[in-house]
Amino acid sequence: MTTYTPMIKQYLNVKAEYEDAFLFFRLGDFYEMFFNDAIEASNILEITLTSRDGGSADKIPMCGIPYHSAEGYIETLVQKGHKVAICEQTEDPRAAKGIVKREVVKVITPGTITEGKTIDANANHFIGAADQLEDGRYALAYVDLATGEGKVEFVSGDERTLISEIEALGMKEIVVRERLHITLNEGMAKRDIVLSMENGEGEKGGIATQSEIPSEMMEACEILLSYLKRTQKSSLDHLRPFDYIQKTDKLSIDANSMRNLELIKSIRNGSKEGTLFWLLDETSTAMGARKLRIWIHQPLADKSAIEDRLELVTDLIDDYFLRDELKTSLKEVYDLERLSGRISMGNASGRDLAQLRNSLRCIPNLKNALFQSGHERLQRFSERLDTCEEALQLLEASVAENPPLSVKEGGIIKDGFNEKLDQYRDASRNGKEWLAGLERDERERTGIKSLKIGYNRIFGYYIEITKSNIHLADLTRYERKQTLANAERYITSELKEKEDLILNAEAEGQDLEYTLFCNVRDEMKSHIRKVQKLASVLSELDVLLSFATVSEKYRYTRPQFHNGRALEIKNGRHPVVEKMMDQSLYVPNSCVLAEDANMLLITGPNMSGKSTFMRQVALTVIMAQIGCYVPCEFAKLPVTDQIFTRIGAADDLASGQSTFMMEMMESRYAIANATEKSLLLFDEIGRGTSTYDGMSLAQAMMEFIHDEIGANTLFSTHYHELTKLNENLNRLVNVHVAAMEREGRVVFLHKVMAGAADKSYGIHVAQLAGLPDSIVIRAKELLDNFESEQTMNNETSATQLSFFDLPDESDQMTEKDKSVLDALEHTDLLNLTPMQAMHLIMDWQKELKNS
């Protein structure tokens, strides 16, 4: 350090406090980076790497970017998972004695970036904090810094379950204490989620200590708030109290099920198209789109709350003209939540304040339209709309109609708001006219026609009178300023006063206007809570209007709810598939789960529609419990508490898990957490292993769900042997997706019918896929051979399946056999990880072999 220049020493001292971030070091009109930061940033940002003399023997690597175009470069670094610390000059260079003082004013991270081309305003951008509790659960707190929305919830399960929930919420950054950092580091890195540590004292008090939040969750809230205050270094008054998500109030959908059902993101390409969100998003505001995402992620599980939403949607469907009027008004409303965040953090521009004012102007019309609707529920809803009159009055009085984007170039404050500013503007705009008027007045007063008003840089403005006319002037009013050969130059108190105004009007006017703007922006902070509350109500209205629009457009029907577990859907449709295809070609299907027969075993060939049928049942339940009408002719539903799915080959490539391992892990999670009020969807469980292993596992799982859980279950399979289970499982019903042969080819009817399928049509599907005829013909020959050996295969199957039967008491067992069986009987398999189960089995096998 002793060899470096004072400026480089200052840089290194600041950099030592932000080693995990790129340090943007302000030097004049540029942000400079040095040493390794410069080398790495020049590669990532594709900018020129140079060097400079820093006092050492070797030159220091350096690169820089203009400060006025830094946003794009910062966004690029952050999107690639990096952090950026902004170090600004904190004193006027002209007043500095020695090196100019500099300090970091903000750290921008993947979880705290709020603006940019890649930021989707229609989605929440959460940053979270996790804390592991003594009982093994996790507390997960998360905040959208742009909107101020904060939530906290418990996550049960291992670290994979926690990571899945973080993924489902779309978080890019998670904050933890050091002890949890080790546990999550590898899993987060594989998913490109930044894992940050916060080991300082938690942020005590404030919004983290709301009484309704369980005490076990406080640590997670305090970790998050402490990290945000340390990195943002600005007011966070817009952060709202954390909303505690109680499991009993919401329909829980785990991350795997969200992915399998394509609720928010398409499995194929991760886009919005082809998802439930894509179908339902007819919102008019970004606030409404975000609210819709949250509702889909966390549907209701309270019957009365669901009914309340459905009642409002019904009223809106019944009144088309009201709906059209409300949607028209909502289109004039800007993103009040993000505007509130900018105001609170001191980032709002004059244009932001104008957008807030224009939005508030729409509220009386919305409120009046709802009240005049004649619908009692909508009238009660209108009472929740706060017109924020004080905030609107301030903005109406202060903010110009069309202010510029820049906050320091004038034009933001309205004429008449401040007398001094009006004088500056008047002097700036009308200075020449005023001087011409003064010159005319002085000529009339003195009778000197040659009198003139002039200006030079040294003396400023003056009144010039030729020496031959001096006797006509009232010299008691004039003060001599300069003597020329044939004229005298004077100034009056009035001209002196105006001179200061005219010469400094523009600069001082802009300075005063910026001060007034900051004062208005600061005063608006006292109204933020009301504006945020209004935004929440408006976003709710926006989503309800969207439900009404979609329900009418696609001929959906209002679902009915009851307190049992029976489920009846008459002629249901998959809403997304229906939208993407010709609706006249769509084949609807009914689904009936009775109180005493609530498990369906679905058979049928590939491509026949088994998975689509299962998904449409789940989507119908979700749509109903977010308060939307559903795609069917009639629906009578129970209130479902959780949905678990295992549909499709969702290999977890990021963590190196095979399809079969994923099947088992997802199945274990479902079985361990499901209740009799849950909905389980299992698609061809066991296909990732050998036939007999897969069939045995599938049967064992079905028996356990049937006997121990009792949840509503849809179970599809290619194992036709399982269709005989209805003889022993009294709540199991066989159904199949129909297909038929026509001229040697299979025709899929896509119709779910009673009973089991009689054939799999696998070779026919291969033929449809375009396999060479020689392969298809050979496959048919082999199939005939296999079917002729059916008896032998059945005997072999019975022999292998008997492995799973416990020995009769009459069988001779050693003490070690009995020991292993006793250990098996008393092992809590549902709470073992796959690896732990594998080790146990290996130990038992070794013990049996040695007996």
411 is in an annotated binding site: no
Q: Which helix or strand (DSSP H or E) is residue 38 part of?
A: helix 35-45
In a domain, residue 592? The reply is yes
pLDDT digits (tens, 9 = 90+) for 114-123: 988 888 889 9
pLDDT of residue 316: 97
Residue 455 has pLDDT above 80, yes or no: yes
Which is nearest to 109 in space by CA: 222, 200, 20? 20
Q: Is there a domain that residue 391 lies in?
A: no
- Decide if pLDDT at 301 tops 90: yes
| Separation CA 464–CA 466 (nearest Å) | 7
pLDDT at residue 268, as a whole number: 81
In a domain, residue 95? The reply is yes
Whether 488 contacts 400, CB under 8 Å: no
pLDDT band, residue 789 (cuts 50/70/90): low
126 - beta bridge partners? Answer: 144
Residue with the bigger pLDDT between 47 and 433: it is 47
Residue 318 lies in a domain: no
Say whether 64 sits in a helix, a strand or coil: strand
What is the structure's pLDDT at 653? Answer: 40
| Same domain (yes/no): 673, 779 | no
State how far the Cα of 532 lies from the Cα of 524, in Å rounded to an integer: 12
Weakest-pLDDT range from 256-270, 515-529, 685-699, 728-742? 685-699
Domain co-membership, 713 together with 579 = yes
Strand partners of residue 456: 460
Q: Are residues 791 and 720 in the same domain?
A: no
Average pLDDT over residues 568-595: 89
pLDDT tens per residue, range 357-384: 999 999 999 999 999 998 999 999 999 9
Q: Is 452 exposed, middle or buried (0-12, 13-18, 19+ CB in 10 A)?
A: middle
Q: Judge whether residue 434 has pLDDT over 50.
A: yes
Number of C-beta neighbours around residue 227 at 10 A:
25
Instruction: Count other C-beta atoms under 10 Å from residue 647's C-beta.
Output: 24
Q: What pLDDT is stored for residue 800 in this prediction? A: 44
To the question of whether residue 93 is assigned a binding role by annotation, the answer is no
pLDDT band at 829 (very low <50, low <70, confident <90, very high): low
Q: What is the pLDDT of residue 439?
A: 93
750: left (phi over 0), alpha (psi -120 to 50) or beta: left
Are 597 and 728 found together in one domain? yes
Same domain? 819 vs 796: no
Question: What pLDDT sits at residue 655?
Answer: 45
Residue 774, pLDDT > 80, answer: no
* Same domain, residue pair 795 and 830: no
In 10 A of CB 841, how many CB atoms? Answer: 11
Of the residues 697, 730, 761, the one at which a domain ends: 761
User: What's the DSSP call for residue 609?
Assistant: S
pLDDT in tens, 213-253: 888 999 999 999 999 999 999 888 899 999 998 888 899 99
pLDDT at residue 165, as a whole number: 87
* pLDDT band at residue 209 using 50, 70 and 90 as cut-offs: very low
Read off the pLDDT band of 768 (50, 70, 90): low
pLDDT of 210 over the 60 cut: no
Domain boundaries, position 707: 555-761
Q: In this structure, are residues 148 and 239 in contact, taking their beta carbons and an 8 Å threshold?
A: yes
Choose the weakest-confidence range: 282-286, 490-494, 691-695.
691-695
Q: Tell me, what CATH number does 561's domain have?
A: 3.40.50.300
Over residues 759-772, mean pLDDT: 59
Taking the CA atoms of 326, 331, 332 and 334 in sequence, report the sign of the dihedral they define.
positive
Lowest mean pLDDT segment, chosen from 126-135, 356-365, 420-429, 631-640: 420-429
Q: What's 114-167 look like in SS3?
A: CCCCCCCCCCCCEEEEEEECCCCCEEEEEEECCCCEEEEEEECCCHHHHHHHHH
Q: In percent, how much of the chain has pLDDT > 70?
A: 85
The highest-confidence range among 22-26, 247-251, 679-683, 700-704, by mean pLDDT, is: 22-26
Closest CA to 568 of 557, 583, 578: 557
Q: What is the mean pLDDT of residues 502-507?
A: 80
CA distance 27 to 598: 71
604 annotated as a binding-site residue: yes
611 annotated as belonging to a binding site for a ligand: yes
Residue 702 and residue 643 share a domain: yes
- Whether the pLDDT of residue 799 is over 50: the answer is no
Measure the CA dihedral 648/649/653/658, to 10°. 140
- pLDDT tens-digit series, residues 20-46: 999 999 998 999 999 999 999 999 999
Model confidence band, residue 654 (pLDDT cutoffs 50, 70, 90): very low
565-571 mean pLDDT:
96
Give, rounded to a whole angstrom, the gap between the first and last alpha carbons of the chain.
71
Annotated binding residue 734:
no
Check if the beta carbon of residue 208 is closer than 8 Å to that of residue 244.
no
Say what the pLDDT of residue 212 is: 75
Say whether 116 counts as a known binding-site residue: no
- Whether residue 262 is predicted with pLDDT greater than 80 in this model: the reply is yes
Please, what sign has the CA dihedral across residues 383, 386, 390, 393?
A: negative
464-491 pLDDT, tens digit per residue, is 999 999 999 888 889 999 999 999 999 9
pLDDT value of position 179? 86
CA distance 641 to 687: 28
Overall domain count for the chain: 4
Residue 448 belongs to a domain:
no
* pLDDT at site 678: 96
Residues 637 and 776 in one domain: no
Do 591 and 722 sit in the same domain of this protein?
yes
pLDDT score for 656: 45
Residues 600 and 670 occupy one common structural domain? yes
For residue 193, pLDDT over 60 is answered with: yes
CA dist., res. 826 & res. 828, Å (int): 6
- pTM comes to 0.81
780 within domain boundaries: yes
Q: Are residues 691 and 780 in the same domain?
A: no
Q: Is 610 annotated as a binding residue?
A: yes
Per-residue pLDDT tens over the stretch 617-652: 999 999 999 999 999 999 999 999 999 988 754 444
Q: Looking at 5-14, 107-116, 694-703, which range is the least confident one?
A: 694-703
For 596-612, what is each residue's pLDDT tens digit?
999 999 988 767 788 89
606 is in an annotated binding site: yes
Task: Say if 303 falls within a structural domain.
Answer: no
The letter for the amino acid at 674 is A
Whether 819 maps to a domain, the answer reads yes
Q: Output the domain CATH number for residue 35.
A: 3.40.1170.10
pLDDT, residue 806, reads 46
Regarding whether 728 and 669 lie in a shared domain, the answer is yes
